[in-house]
Every structure is written in C-alpha cells, then in structure tokens.
Amino acid sequence: MMNKRNIEIISYILIILGAILASFSVALILLPNDAIDYGTAGVAIIISKKTGLPLAPCVIAVFVPFIILGYFVLGSRFTIKATIGSIAYTLGIKFFEGIPFELNTEHFLAVAFGGALLGAGLSLILRSGGCIDGSEILANIVVKRLSDKTGQNYSMTPVLLLFNAVVYITVFITIDATTALLSLLVYVVATAVIDHYTDHFESIKQVTIITKDAEGISKDIKLRLNKTCTIMDSRGAIAGDNYTLICYISYFELPIMKDIISFHTGSFSTVSTIDEILR
C-alpha cells in the first residue's frame, strides 16, 4: 500500500501530464482550427489574438491573480498544485506552438477531438487536486463567500456558466461568430468529459463520515473549512456504537477533508454528488 508521500508525488506527475495534454490540444488542435479554450485560458487567447503578444506570457499574466486568490481561500497545498499545473501548461503552450503540426480534417471533427483531449487533461488535473483555470478558482471563491455569509451551500455551475458566457460573447464580438461557435463546442465536449471523470466537480459534494471521534472531526472541519456537520448516533455490526457525520463541501475542499479524516484513525467516509439542496 502506497504511503501519503508517494500518493502526493503521483498526483503532481498526473497534474503535469494533464497540463501537457491540455496545452497540446490548445496549441496544436484548437487554435489552428479557429477555436479557443474556455475560462481564463480563453481570456488569455483573446488578449493574445487582439494584441499580437505571445500566448504564453498572456496565460501567465491572466492566471497569476487567480492563483494568488486561491492561496487565501483554498490553502497552500492547492496553490502549489495550481502553480505547478499552470507552469506546465504555459511551458507546454510555448513548446507546442513551435512544432509544425496541422490536423488535416474538418474544423468540426478537429474541435470535437481537441475538446475531448482538453477535457481528459483537465480531468487528470482536477482528480489530482490541482487546477489550471482561474474561472474555477473564482467560482469556488464566490461560492465559499456566499456559503459563509448565508450558511447555505451553492453549486459552482452558475458562476462558471456566467464567466464562460462572457468569454464567448467577447469572442463573438471581437473575433468572429465561427470562432465563438467552435469554441462553444469545445466547452460542451470538454465539460462532458470532465463531468464523466470527476462526477460533476462543480456540484455540491456530500461527505458522510463514520467515526467514534465526532467531536474532534467536527472541530477540525469548522477550523479548516469553516463548515458545520450534522451528527447522528449510529451503530456498526462489528465496531459497535459510533457516529455518522454529514457535511457539504465543494470539490476543491475535498483534499482538506481527506486530510482531516485521515488524521482521525478509525474513521472512514463516502463522497456523493448533490444536485440541489432544498430548504
């Protein structure tokens, strides 16, 4: 059984591989076929196209503010992974832009294939606890602030849809309709792949914890995530009396939750996706 250090090393490797796959798709498939990435990467591409500046510096300039924001909301571990992923993505863009490669097929097929590759790369990054898109960080910050203020749980989906709607409207106005429509196809294909492999990362996650140390875990959850729990008495056929805790968090808070649970030995948990919470 692998220890935590080896698991962490593998997660960094997967983040780098995912970033390289995403940059390959953008530089060698999407851009040559008149389509762009979505999220903050799409913003960087728009800036590059309208100013004539190289894409790699534009990507860094757009990503850095969001990574800094992520540090204050999601912690240092997330920031390190997001930084490594962003650097790998940027270097990949710079490297692949210099390769004379062209996918000789219809734009529609190329964009569909490129969107699938992009989604696969981003799935690797998200499942490994990283992120290379500032729109996801922004959505998480907005949701967290709303949750802290109202005490309710919110999905990131509306924020992500609004952000990308602004990106595509900007593409439609400043570049052309064809690029906007092809880019929208990229978004649909990529998010379909991501949703499949991350179980709708933008949705609310319900964590159910079985433990004998309900007080300790609930205190850590409140301290590190500023979340509360529902605590119920329960009984195991072998373990006997214990407690069941239910907590609702975002996808990006899962690594912190895993740390909390692993610290309290003898506890285990399940994670499920919640589409909506009714009050």
Strand partners, 269: 209
DSSP 212: S
Alpha-carbon distance of 272 to 248, in angstroms, equals: 10
111 contacts: CB under 8 Å, gap ≥ 6? 29, 30, 33, 35, 182, 185, 186, 189
Closest CA to 244 of 235, 231, 257: 231
Continuous H helices in 134-239: 134-150, 157-174, 177-198, 214-225
Q: Where are the domains of the chain?
A: 4-198, 204-274
Q: Which fold has domain 204-274?
A: Alpha-Beta Plaits (3.30.70)
pLDDT digits (tens, 9 = 90+) for 38-59: 899 999 999 999 999 999 999 9
The pLDDT assigned to 12 comes to 92
Structure tokens, 116: 């699938």
What pLDDT does residue 250 have? 86
Q: What is the mean pLDDT of residues 19-43?
A: 91
pLDDT above 80 for 5 = no
Tens of pLDDT, residues 71-111: 887 778 888 888 999 999 999 999 998 888 777 678 888 88
Please give the pLDDT value at position 204: 87
Q: How sure is the predictor about 279, in pLDDT bands with cuts at 50, 70 and 90? A: low
132: pLDDT strictly greater than 70: yes
Inter-residue contact 53 to 83 (CB < 8 Å): no
Q: So what's the pLDDT on residue 185? A: 92
- Residue 248 in contact with residue 205, Cβ under 8 Å? yes
Does pLDDT of 202 surpass 90?
no
Judged against a pLDDT cut of 90, whether residue 166 lies above it is answered with yes
Evaluate if residue 133 carries a pLDDT over 60.
yes
